[in-house]
Amino acid sequence: MSNSYKKYLEHNRKHTDLEFATALLHWDKEVYQPTKGNRFRAQQLSTLSAISHEMMTNRKYGKLIEDLFKNKKSLSPAERRNVELSHKNYIRNKSFSEKFVIRRSQAISTAFDAWIKARAANDWTIYQKPLENIVKIKREEAKLVGFKKHPYNALLEEYEPGATVGQLDKLFSDVRRQLVAFVAELRKKKQVDDQFLYKKWNKDKQWNYGLDILKKMGYDFEAGRQDISEHPFTISFSPEDVRVTTRVDEKNFGNMLWSCIHEGGHALYEQGIPTEAYGTPIGNAVSLAIHESQSRLWENNVGRALPFWKANFKTLKKQFPKQLEGISLQKFYKGINKITPSPIRTESDELHYHFHVLIRYEIEKGLVEDSLNPAELKTIWNDRYQEYLGLEIKDDKTGILQDIHWSHGSIGYFPTYSLGSFYAAQFYAQAKKDIPNLEEKISKGDNQLLLDWLRKNIHQHGARYTPNALCKRVTGETLNFKYFMDYVKEKYGGIY
Amino acid sequence: MSNSYKKYLEHNRKHTDLEFATALLHWDKEVYQPTKGNRFRAQQLSTLSAISHEMMTNRKYGKLIEDLFKNKKSLSPAERRNVELSHKNYIRNKSFSEKFVIRRSQAISTAFDAWIKARAANDWTIYQKPLENIVKIKREEAKLVGFKKHPYNALLEEYEPGATVGQLDKLFSDVRRQLVAFVAELRKKKQVDDQFLYKKWNKDKQWNYGLDILKKMGYDFEAGRQDISEHPFTISFSPEDVRVTTRVDEKNFGNMLWSCIHEGGHALYEQGIPTEAYGTPIGNAVSLAIHESQSRLWENNVGRALPFWKANFKTLKKQFPKQLEGISLQKFYKGINKITPSPIRTESDELHYHFHVLIRYEIEKGLVEDSLNPAELKTIWNDRYQEYLGLEIKDDKTGILQDIHWSHGSIGYFPTYSLGSFYAAQFYAQAKKDIPNLEEKISKGDNQLLLDWLRKNIHQHGARYTPNALCKRVTGETLNFKYFMDYVKEKYGGIY
């Protein structure tokens, strides 16, 4: 190992230490921080972030990474991948002037405040101008970063390396053509019953059941823990300390359980990244969509499928005999897969979900390429919900104001949610091919085969390969929407 | 405000942000961190500490602080105090070469490991040599820092600015002459009964009662929280986020409650430091002994006194009717003040406690001035416990191996525990003078007068004055052991 590569590793290791320390401050803020602690916590986070940014943009580090990049041929393949990722990141960071960074952070801060106010007042007009400003800044960002073909590609790159408008246009046109039609057919069929999910489900018992399911998935509680927060999330401070959060609703059993499984899927990924890669770019998850594929695979392909509940329904019924009185496994399975449109993305079933993302994608792309007038955003929003989901949007809060992402400056993020589900279907289909008795094992309560497969094929690689290369390595082809539609047709053909 | 003073403030604010972020990592480690998280957490802490150290020792900051110090006459009194404290700290840090810092940290790491092993094996000889090495390093440290009269002064200065061997010799000779004799007399009297404390006390009820008492003391739960940890502690991330921890023992009611009150006293101090001083040296507690005075004042002068229990005994009895069946307020009061020697410092009553510290002081001073042979440490330890406490030490674990401090390199720390109690007695006597109806109010459940007095006289000043100057400001004289003996005589004269 060359001396400068060693220096580079050491520097990145320290930067990672700082980033994970910062992550703990975020975790605490959501989970345990007393309310008055906010003011100084915000200041502390901003200081840590300034130190971290300086570490990754200072001239000395810049020279080191430029030199390594120039001489990357002398490096091993893994070393080269690290240097390429770091170099890319360095170039991206350096493409923004300090002035631009300050302007962007001010625009975000203004938009976030406006979003909070607009939601409270249920009034889109409060948010409209600040959001226009965010869009302007993001268009500028795309120009500064540089792009091929479409400015949206520059924004996508931050969340999903290698994703392009070309790829997404194709994918979402499939969603429009195939999934919208399929779901429209389902809506005509006889509806299934899920009323039992909304009986009174004791909170402590739910909590314990959630912990139990996490254990059954293979989540390592010696390297993690679960806590309560307003919005569930997964956060990592090293592969040996990966935490999840959830919330419990006494009146809605599904609210907690599938969020546990979802976050558990994220957490298994983080727990499966080799500790030896700590502090290197490879020691990270490769992209948001691949991350989401892990959560969705466990949540839907496993956690809302029959084999899993063949293994677990008995113990569930033992814990909640009253709530499940007269409910058979079949009835339970159908109930937890009820398809019904909701104006809210996060409360959506696994099919309608992608219409929410489709609408976001169409709008984001239009805004970034300037083919869509921001002043007409609300009308466009409401029209599309009518068109794709058959829903009339009654107010701004449950409509265009529902999500925080845009106010954070996150444009190009939403598509990764759908990509995650599509990857999940493709990976799961491959796992079933590779392990012929997979679902038989799962239906006997053994999830280890699946976890081993995920560890071997996905987790252990961290960011060693691009999402496209990883997908090809695992399944023999790049992302293909067909697998998702196959999964959907088979599953929902049986339910409806 | 001069430009360089502004720069200095900005730099210190950032450094404080980093220090409090580091503190959160420590808090989490003790309270919620999963076991496997240890390895990378240790690394993250070490990186943060290196960044923090660099910030306070780099040449640019050095020049800034030297310049400000040279021109301190042009500063306001508060600004001058900040610069003086920062300068002192800078000079102390700079007096250690990098080589020395590494050697010291290695010696500590070795001694800590040896202490863990020695405790497990209940065998002092494992720890003996590593501890000798710690002593050698601390003697060297004293030389590097420089001192007047006695090398131990250099070590004391780190924990208790202004404390000297001259002052402590006088104080502990008073302890030896007056307190040892007084306690020996008490031991001849009829013992009081505290058996009721060791009945079965429901854990949840204890926990809730502890929270309730903290609220009654004036602890602000919007600016703090209580959690469970192995050893109780208080930690601050800003005056608006000051957390306490405790532990609950079903078989020992006292174990939790007075630890809550003790930590609550520490926390009230931290919550009372003005937020405007955040990030400046003045925005810290002035010293360990003054900190301890706040915890001890609430724990003993208030929390083990009659007025407080006049206010609270009824609700306690309501919560725990079985445990307190047939126990009168008088009997309860006597029981919670039972005097009985223990070989363990942390389990000691408020009188014997100081004999533990006295022994530590005599030994530490002897080791640092090289008048005491480390090879004979165990014999000396056991002899002094026989002499001052009348106890035969049966094994090393409950003897010389009981405390972690020395293995951490903390020599000069123990005396602050006793100083804290002595300051507490002096402050409380003054509070009673200043507020004639103080105890009448407390006995009616109103602790606000006392808290206001502490806020005004002590908390709000942070480190604005030295401990000596603060004590003189508040009570008209520097620390005087008389107040503690007066308190002890009056209280225990009534109990025994």
How do residues B211-226 score in pLDDT, each as one tens digit? 999 999 999 999 999 9
Q: Are both A51 and A129 inside the same structural domain?
A: no
- From CA A286, how far away is CA B80, in angstroms rounded? 52
Measured between alpha carbons, how far is B372 from B139 in angstroms, rounded to an integer?
A: 13
Q: Which amino acid is at A193?
A: D
CB contact under 8 A, B36 and A222: yes
3-class SS of residue A246: strand
Rounded Cα distance, A187 and A92, in Å: 46
Residue B474 has pLDDT above 80, yes or no: yes
Do A33 and A87 lie in a common domain?
Answer: yes
Which of A79, A160, A263, A439 is catalytic? The answer is: A263
CB of B23 less than 8 A from some CB of A: no
- Catalytic residue among B141, B157, B263, B439, which? B263
pLDDT band of B2, cuts 50, 70, 90 = confident
A65 and A142, same domain (yes or no): no
Q: Does A61 touch chain B (CB under 8 A)?
A: no
Check CB contact of A245 with chain B, cutoff 8 Å: no
Residue B104 lies in a domain: no
Cα Rg of chain B (Å, integer): 23
Range of the domain at A89: 3-94
Residue B74 resides in a domain: yes
Give the Cα separation of A268 and A295 in Å (integer). Answer: 9
Tell me if B278 and A33 make a contact (CB, 8 A cut-off). no
Can you give the pLDDT at residue B220?
A: 98
Query: Would you say the ipTM is above 0.85?
Result: yes
Q: Are residues A85 and A131 in the same domain?
A: no
Based on the domain organization, do A161 and A301 belong to the same domain?
yes
3-class state of residue B246 by DSSP: strand
CB contact under 8 A, B32 and A225: yes
The pLDDT tens digits of the residues spanning B323-368 come to 999 999 999 999 999 999 999 999 999 999 999 999 999 999 999 9
Closest by CA to A299, choosing from A420, A457, A174, is A420
CA B57 to chain A, closest CA, distance in angstroms equals 17
Which residue in A28, A47, A223 is closest to B14 by CB distance? A47
Q: Percent of chain B scored above 90 by pLDDT?
A: 94
Do B51 and A221 make contact, defined as CB atoms within 8 angstroms? Answer: no
Q: What is the Cα A158 distance to its own chain's centre?
A: 13
**A236, closest residue in chain B (CA to CA):** B37
Cβ of B224 and A34 within 8 Å? yes
DSSP annotation of B176 reads I
What's the domain count of chain A?
2
pLDDT at B369 over 90: yes
Q: Give me chain B's average pLDDT, please.
A: 95
Would B101 be classed as within a structural domain? no
Average pLDDT over residues B451-464: 98
Distance from CA of B222 to the nearest CA of A (A): 5
Residue B380 φ then ψ, to 5°: -60, -45
Per-residue b or e along B94-123, where b marks 16 or more CB atoms closer than 10 Å to that residue's CB: eebeeeeeeebeebbebbbebbeebbeeee
Tell whether B285 is covered by a domain.
Answer: yes
Residue B211 lies in a domain: yes
Q: Are residues A385 and A438 in the same domain?
A: yes
The minimum CA-CA distance between B46 and chain A, rounded to whole Å, is 9
Question: Which amino acid is located at B402 in the chain?
Answer: Q
Residues A212 and A287 occupy one common structural domain = yes
Q: Which residues of chain B neighbour A50 with C-beta distances below 8 Å?
A: 14
Q: Look up the pTM and report it.
A: 0.94
Sheet strand arrangement including A234-236: A226-228, A242-246, A234-236
If asked whether residues A262 and A366 sit together in one domain, one would say yes
B34 and A238 within 8 Å at the Cβ level: the answer is no
Instruction: Say whether B51 and A18 touch across the interface (CB within 8 A).
Output: yes
Determine how β-strand B226-228 pairs with β-strand B242-246: parallel
How far, in Å, CA of B201 to CA of B249, rounded?
Answer: 8
Same domain, A351 and A454: yes
The secondary structure of A161-208 as a DSSP string is: TT--HHHHHHHHHHIIIIIHHHHHHHHHSPPP--GGGGS---HHHHHH
Q: Clarify whether residues A232 and A354 are in a common domain.
A: yes
Cβ of residue B226 closer than 8 Å to a chain A Cβ? no
Report whether A213 contacts A312 (CB < 8 A): yes
Q: What is the pLDDT of residue B109?
A: 87
Same structural domain, B219 and B357: yes
CB contact under 8 A, A21 and B17: no
B43: in domain? yes
The DSSP secondary structure of A18-46, one letter per residue, reads HHHHHHHHHHHHHHT--GGGHHHHHHHHH
Q: Chain B residues with CB inside 8 Å of A39's CB?
A: 238, 240
Q: Which residues of B touch A14 (CB under 8 A)?
A: 47, 50-51
Mean pLDDT per 10-residue section of chain A, whose length is 496 residues: 92 97 95 94 92 93 96 95 97 90 89 92 95 95 95 96 96 95 93 96 97 98 96 96 97 95 98 97 97 98 98 96 96 96 94 96 96 92 94 94 92 97 98 97 97 98 97 97 98 95
Q: How far is A274 from chain B (nearest CA, A)?
A: 13
Residue A109 lies in a domain: no
Amino acid sitting at position B433: K
pLDDT at B339: 95
Please state, in angstroms and rounded to a whole number, the distance separating the CA atoms of residues A377 and A380.
5
- B274, B405: one domain: yes
**Nearest-angstrom CA–CA distance, B107 and A75:** 39
CB < 8 Å to B47, chain A: 13-14, 17-18, 21
∠A407-A408-A414 over CA atoms, to 5°? 90
| The pLDDT of residue B291 | 98
Final residue in a domain of this structure, among B39, B68, B94: B94
**Cβ pair B47:A20 closer than 8 A:** no
Q: What is the CATH number of the domain that holds B238?
A: 1.10.1370.30
Q: Domain boundary residue among A55, A72, A94?
A: A94
User: A118 lies in a domain?
Assistant: no
Give per-residue pLDDT as tens, B192-246. Answer: 999 999 999 999 999 999 999 999 999 999 999 999 998 999 999 999 999 999 9
Instruction: Tell me the nearest-neighbour CA distance from A149 into chain B, angstroms.
Output: 42
B263 is catalytic: yes
